Structure 1
Amino acid sequence: MSVQVPPVRGVDEQPPVKCPTAFRYWAARATPEVARFERTFKKITRRELFPTDDQVIALCEDLFSGDPVAERFVEEVMHGPIGSKAGRRMLETALADGIDAIEDAPESMRVLFEEFETVPEWVVPELVEQGAAIWRRWGTMLFSFAGAETLEMYTEAAVATPLSLAGGYAGDSALRRFLETTRFWMDVSEPHALLTPGSAGRATALKVRVMHVAVRAKVAGHPEWDIDKWGLPISQTYQMLTLLGGSVTPGLGLWALGYQTTPSEIRALLHFQKYMGYLLGVRVRWYPETVIDSLRVLAMTIASRSYDAGQHGAELIESYPAAFAPRAGHRGLTRLRELYNFRINSVYSAMYMAPGTRRGYTMPPAFPWIAIPLLRFPLITVMEILRRVFPPFARVHEKVMLWHRENWYRAQMQGREAEFDASGALRR
């Protein structure tokens, strides 16, 4: 199904553009309220509120785009005569020892690794490492912010339905799947991880890429999925929005907690995320390169929302803070740590969800625990200043943050390891 879009500037006739019907951008821009806000914004700032029509058309069409290179590998190897378990072992071997370690490797696997191991000409290694260092500087705060900001998009069926069908982020599985995601964030932001062949970060990125392909195929063929309404599951555009959720939004949003991320640092984060996206198979036709363009994409996304996730979204949203609640049978320091994690993540959920959205769900109270980030704000501010003016402090601070996030992760996982495996069946 296609939706007629307004003419692109300078073009007399614009053909219909394929856009999911639930992605309401064009309809929203036609409403008097949005049109009035757009005019007011431009009058005050002398800037455009939304991306150009060409850019929006590219993003709309990429809502129907997947990852053909990795999809061919999964279809031929994981779903073919070789089988998922043997295919998984082949993938692990190739990641550890190189593709040449696989005797008679399937052509689709060689193509995947050739692409994966080729560093694009546009990559600036210094910016990639600078962006990764910012993630390390944020420590576990990145995890909390990312978990909280995602709740706002769980109102969209295009986002919530794949997660609900897979079951990982719902109910009792929510914490386990979230911790797997934090392992990914940790691996890709280790020093020089993304540009070092054979690193854990690169290996994790490819495993996540293959996992996305497996989930996409299962969900796309499920009777609950409506491709005309939502596009392709885990589409190129939504993956790109996730990259913005790891760069521009925390770079700006964490100022509320005392973290002082400068515009040049946010640009480094954008570049770091762009290359990380490349390793994950993100090939959008247009990727925002500036903070302003990124904010325009976010404005477009807000205008496009349809709030159609229903029960599936409610389960995901309400499962997130509840996942950190103290577990039965835990006592002493372990229970105190779990209680703190539960309360502080309840606070962050309240801070980074829109009040109108939050009121529609059963969420734990933020008061009086909101006092924790308020009291901590001056300390984080001082640490950020010291880090900038006294390099030895910055080096020690990074080591502490690396230790702390690993310690936090191990305490939560209780001896388990992240698997990044989507070979199981959907839960319904």
Structure 2
Amino acid sequence: MQNDLLHQGDPLADAVIADLVATGRTSAVNAVLAEFRSNDQPIPDSLPPSVRDYLIATDTPPAWMDADRVARAYDFFVDDGVHVASILSFGAMVNCYAQPRPSKVLNLTHRLNQPHRRLSETSQFVLDLMAPQPFTNGGSFVPTIQKTRLIHAAVRHFVAQSPDWDVETDGVPVCQLDLLGALLIFSVQVIDGMRRIGVTVTDVEAEDYYYVWRVAGSILGIRDDVMPETLAEATRLNAELVEAAYAPSEEGIALTRGLLELYKKFIPGKAFDGVVPAMVRQVVNPEVADMLQVPRSRGWSRFVTSSARIMRFFERKEDTNRVARKVLDKAGALLLTASTRTLTSGESTTLAIPDGLRQSWSAAGVCPVAVDGK
């Protein structure tokens, strides 16, 4: 199965990019799609037929989607969305860099020196997923997925033409195998990372969280037949398909170094430089941290480990202790704010928090307002 997935892209989106490149309309379509932001927004009339047909064909969630399960996942996002975003930033992105093939693709697209842009794009994707009804009218997630599929297709088209990429040996860039691996990292491994830092995630919450990602994966163009139906199956596949393929690479090490440097800019003074790599080491496997040359800091590692124990204590008390809840939520909000700020200019990114989450997080006093500057 792996070899099949390695050489398969996304035929629907790939055909659109081939048409746009052949007719020289890529820039014009980019300008129109930049204004295409919500699920219930009419498809612009000025788009070429191939793009309009693609947007119509990819606008509907899979027939097997259970709206009640998606709604339950939203409740989980309201309670723990800030922690989800934190683990995605500190753990999931690093785990992505432990995969040599995707890291090589990033190098060939000249994005090794843009960690803030990758972080911003990933964070916005996840925030859109956290909307109350991400796959129906009113949200922004479906257009986000549709545009992401076209970006992936464009990367496949141009990287495959690079003399530094051998399709026969390396497979298709951003292939089905890569997409499935990313899905497992953003779902299975995020749940594992949350538990590593002491956040309690029930089995039902974990299943619903994975389920939402499986729906998203289907709309993103991942074959339904290769996505596990249950979290247990996904956990096994993650170990066999993703973690077993981790390996060091020059590109992965460089990407990780850039991400760590980005986070270090949040921390004033040299004395606290070790806290960022210590946090990364807390949420990823030690082997991954070592192969990507994440620095060690015994003092900060002990501090972060102790903090995880404290988090677990608060989690056990949070249902009856308002102070405990505030400590947990504030810690998550601070991490989310830090992990989504563009530091090259000292200004916030233009990330948009879905209204439902904004209202809930603001009521709880944990909305990271610096994320979108409001």
TM-score range, shorter chain: 0.7 to 0.9
Does the Cα contact within 8 Å between 2:317 and 2:324 map onto a contact in 1?
yes
Letter of the 1:312 partner, please give it. Answer: E
Indicate the residue corresponding to 1:91 in structure 2.
Answer: 33
CA distance in 2, matches of 1:113, 1:181: 21
Paired amino acid for 1:162: V
- Comparing 275-284 with 147-156, greater Cα deviation is found at 147-156
Equivalent residue number for residue 267 of structure 1: 207
Shift of 1:161: 0.7
- Quote the residue 1:329 is aligned against: none
Shift of 1:106: 2.7
Q: Deviations over 1:8-39 (max 9, x none)?
A: xxxxxxxxxxxxxxxxxxxxxxxxxxxxxxxx
Q: Which residue of 1 aligns with 2:355?
A: none
8 Å Cα contact 2:123/2:340 also seen in 1: no
Cα distance in 1 for partners of 2:85, 2:324 equals: 21
TM-score, normalising length from structure 2? 0.78
Q: Does the aligned pair in 2 maintain the 1:62–1:284 contact within 8 Å?
A: no
Partner of 1:62: 5
Return the alpha-carbon distance in structure 2 between the equivalents of residues 382 and 353 of structure 1.
Answer: 21
Aligned partner of 2:282 in structure 1 is: 351
Alignment of 1:122-161 (within 5 A): 122-146=64-88, 147-161=90-104
Deviation at 1:216, TM superposition (A): 1.8
CA deviation profile, 1:19-73 (whole Å, cap 9, x unmatched) = xxxxxxxxxxxxxxxxxxxxxxxxxxxxxxxxxxxxxx2x431221111212222
Query: Among residues 234, 245, 250, which one is paired with 1:305 in the alignment?
Result: 245
Deviation at 1:287, TM superposition (A): 1.1
The structure that has the greater radius of gyration is: 1
Shift of 1:298: 1.8
| Aligned partner of 1:238 among 159, 162, 178 | 178
Q: Give 1:351's aligned amino acid.
A: Q
Partners of 1:299 and 1:362 in 2: how far apart?
Answer: 21
Tell me if 1:74 matches 2:14. Answer: no
Deviation at 1:93, TM superposition (A): 4.7
Rounded Cα–Cα distance in structure 2 between residues aligned with 1:337 and 1:199: 40
Q: How many residues in Structure 1 have an aligned counterpart in Structure 2?
A: 347
Aligned partner of 1:380 among 311, 335, 338: 311
Alignment match, 1:114: 56
CA pair 407-250 structure 1, distance change in 2 beyond 3 A: closer
Q: Describe how 1:41-60 pairs up with structure 2 within 5 A.
A: 57=1, 59-60=2-3
Quick one: which amino acid aligns to residue 125 of structure 1? A
Which residue identity does 1:159 align to in structure 2? P
3-state DSSP of counterpart to 2:120: helix
Q: What is the letter of the counterpart of residue 206 of structure 1?
A: Q
Measure how far apart 1:401 and its partner are. Answer: 8.6
AA aligned opposite 2:190: P
Q: Distance in 1 between matches of 2:43 and 2:95?
A: 44
Query: What's the CA shift for 1:175?
Result: 2.8
Q: 1:360 to 1:281 in 2, by over 3 A?
A: closer
SS for the counterpart of 2:226 is coil
Residues 265-414 of structure 1: pairs in structure 2 closer than 5 A:
265-301=205-241, 304-305=244-245, 307=247, 310-326=249-265, 336=268, 343-385=274-316, 407-408=337-338, 411-412=341-342, 414=347
Structure 2 CA distance, aligned partners of 1:357 and 1:395?
A: 32
Within 1, Cα distance between the matches of 2:172 and 2:218?
A: 19
Is the 8 Å Cα contact of residues 13 and 153 (structure 2) preserved in structure 1? yes
CA distance in 2, matches of 1:394, 1:76: 55
Q: Deviations over 1:198-257 (max 9, x none)?
A: 523333222222221111212122112122333211111221221121222222332221
Is the contact made by 1:69 and 1:111 (CA closer than 8 Å) also made in structure 2? no
Q: 1:142 to 1:100 in 2, by over 3 A?
A: closer
Change (3 A) 1:306 1:205: closer
State whether residues 165 and 219 of structure 1, in contact with CA within 8 Å, keep that contact through their aligned partners in structure 2.
yes
Cα distance, 1:363 vs structure 2:
2.9
- 1:137–1:401 contact (8 Å) kept in structure 2: no
Q: Percent identity?
A: 20
Q: Deviations over 1:322-346 (max 9, x none)?
A: 22222xxxxxxx6539986x64431
Letter in 2 for 1:181: T
Which among 122, 128, 132 is matched to residue 181 of structure 1?
Answer: 122
Determine the C-alpha separation between the residues in 2 that align with 1:189 and 1:139: 8
Calculate the aligned-residue CA RMSD, in Å: 3.5
Aligned to 1:29: none
Cα contact 2:342–2:349 (8 A) shared by 1: no
Q: Structure 1: 5+ residue runs without aligned partners?
A: 1-56, 327-333, 420-428
